[in-house]
A and B are shown apart, each in its own frame.
Chain A
């Protein structure tokens, strides 16, 4: 490998270390301010929540790498949650879980069909889905949470396999699958190609329609899965399960360093991003800061994270930074 390629690998490593250090610094600061953060109970909680968030973050990342965006995962999760609860109550727990996941996949496929076959802009299609899926969830549940779940329903969300909470295990499995899919299968390569240059991918014989559809189906499926786990955890089906889910997912992807433009990205990025967001949310909770502030923070985080990503790629800005850096260094040397 030549020096140019080494430079690429080196910068990838730098990015990875950068994100991990943000996570580390955040955790350290938090544990100093609020020692409760480090309690085993709390840590397990954080990990559990970040596992759930990372599920949707994977889905979002897959879609973004393929050049699209999915705003509907919050509403898809809502519908899945409601249906899961209803089916679990009337038919059985396992059918309930299956139903939730399938619902997610189905709604995701609808998105995919509108976007790939009908050429609807991704933003419009998923935004539309966000609106009417929410309507559907509300309609089915008549606006009220669905309670009185059968025994054992909460195992998935709150249970353990040995010392490890089940959601984490699920998340790890999905992570491995996603990583393999993106880096080791033709599908993954095609996604990067479609995200990078759709027309050229099409002309090279890649079935853009099919793979795009698949990306959205996966995203919907993962949203359904996340909904199932979350519903299990709170032991009731709700139509406003996680209203900030799409924002959290996008924020997780952005913070993790995923490029919003598509065609780039590694699967560890949304994971680390999800962890950072979960830690931040958890911190705000522990410090008793209102959940409204959380909304403000998430919004701010998205803005800053994406700005930083853009600025990094902007040559003149980086030149400015290096100039300042060198100037400071020379100042330090002089003294």
Chain B
């Protein structure tokens, strides 16, 4: 059935893109960062204006002037940053801006919004009390509230932008169940994601974009992952994870009994020279917190840290740096970089006390050093003076790595090192990490990406709900087993059932 059709030929960052969405389908939008996916959906949601081309909804042409107009037309968007007001309740957020009122005094019809919200949440099978304040909800719950909000606005077209990157497996299941329900009800869903296993599970069709152009629209069932990757980057990528030779030396780092109340408990791990250790844990399992704790960014309640056998106190990032430990955070834009400063200034930021002459900064020295790293890491930037904001995600990540390399750290803790990085840059970053350990450093990768961990690490520790549930050396890697450890019993049962 041809339900809804949209066509946008010829927009500046988008070159003559055609796209259509049927009622009751999940249409995945796939592409590297910068391929144009966000631009496309922002036009649809009214945040951007198209320069050329047309949009048709249910066969009639429309102009979408602003986000409010878009939602009036039945288009709702759910972004990663939730658009809810933390100091208002669930019910109030669902009806934000559309609160039914008693005329004259403008009093809110509280019973009505509570009642309606309860109905919608029940329809969707979501169990969140309507008077809970949104500020106290988890990210997953907030997303569900946003979906409820969209449903209450009689959305025909739902756009979801990377909805699962902050969810646990259980929550993802919940979300998918909801998505399937909406699909059955006739809603058309545009789903943006980088996770292949997800859209294999829930998608009907996929449109691949590259460099602002639409490459092709194919059905999920008939297309293999490799074909999709080829469409995305324009070439075959057999080796997603570069191989390397492994020489592992003696223990360089050990933590015992590390605990932070409410987040993780009695974590013991050790790291050897030249080793890449993987800490696998889904979001919310505490793995990210462990990284921050080891690197001094998070205060621990118990636990000791040892470097090369000697006990050390690491209570702040400065302590960590003094001990040659660097932390690559999961959110480079807000935690890792000074976006408004130049590439050079970012690279040298952690090393200024070493790159000076008699206490004064030396521009020449800084330029020299930063240019070295720009070349070494193949950072694509017009020059060292370019403002970091203008670089792509992958290159920004390289700048952060350069910052730590410049400081000559021996132990690098990477949290989600390739999140939001396109495939081409991903491979470069993996090679970089390999080179690092080849030169004698050690790396711990904290990630929720199972393939990444399996592909890169010599040993894997699995974290679930703040505790170590398994430790697996390379010879014994198996995808299913690791996933079952990470996700727990339910997942295991699912595998056995299918």
Contacts and interface: CB of A to CB of B under 8 A. Distances in A.
Contacts, number: 83
B352 A200 contact: no
A110 interface: no
A202 B349 contact: no
Interface in A177-204: 180, 183-186, 188-190, 192-193, 196-197, 199-204
A4 B317 contact: no
Interface string B333-370: 01111111100010001101100100111000000000
A230 B386 CA distance: 44
Contacts of A8: 387
B223 interface: no
B338 A196 contact: yes
Given A4-B382, A184-B361, A199 B334 contact: yes
B329 interface: yes
B10 interface: no
Interface of B: 297, 316-318, 320-321, 327, 329, 334-341, 345, 349-350, 352-353, 356, 359-361, 382-383, 385-387, 390, 403, 407
Contacts of B337: 197, 200
Nearest to A180: B360
Contacts of B349: 189, 193, 201, 204, 206
A204 B350 contact: yes
A2 B383 contact: yes
Contact of A196 (B316, B317, B340): B340
A1 interface: yes
A204 B345 CA distance: 12
Interface string A1-38: 11011001000000000000000000000000000000
Contact of B320 (A4, A186, A205): A205
Contacts of B385: 1-2, 5
Interface of A: 1-2, 4-5, 8, 180, 183-186, 188-190, 192-193, 196-197, 199-207, 263-264
Contacts of B383: 1-2, 5
Contacts of A203: 297, 317, 327, 329, 335-336
A185 B360 contact: yes
A186 B386 contact: no
Nearest to A263: B340
A224 to B, nearest CB: 25
Given A4-B382, A5-B383, A205-B350, A200 B335 contact: yes
Given A5-B385, A202-B297, 15 more contacts: A2-B383, A2-B386, A4-B382, A4-B387, A4-B390, A186-B352, A186-B353, A192-B338, A196-B338, A200-B335, A200-B337, A203-B329, A203-B335, A204-B349, A264-B340
Contacts of B327: 203
Given A200-B335, A203-B327, A204-B350, A189 B318 contact: no
Nearest 7 pairs between A and B by C-beta? A186-B352, A205-B321, A2-B382, A5-B385, A204-B350, A205-B317, A184-B360
Nearest to A207: B318
A8 B382 CA distance: 14
B408 to A, nearest CB: 13
22 contacts: A5-B382, A180-B360, A184-B360, A184-B361, A185-B356, A185-B360, A186-B352, A186-B356, A193-B338, A193-B349, A196-B338, A196-B341, A197-B338, A200-B337, A202-B317, A203-B317, A204-B317, A205-B321, A205-B407, A207-B318, A263-B338, A264-B340
B361 A197 contact: no
A220 to B, nearest CB: 23
Contacts of B297: 202-203
A190 B348 CA distance: 11
Contacts of A190: 352
B350 A197 contact: no
A4 B353 CA distance: 29
A8 to B, nearest CB: 8
B405 to A, nearest CB: 13
Contacts of B316: 207
Contacts of B387: 4, 8
A4 B386 contact: yes
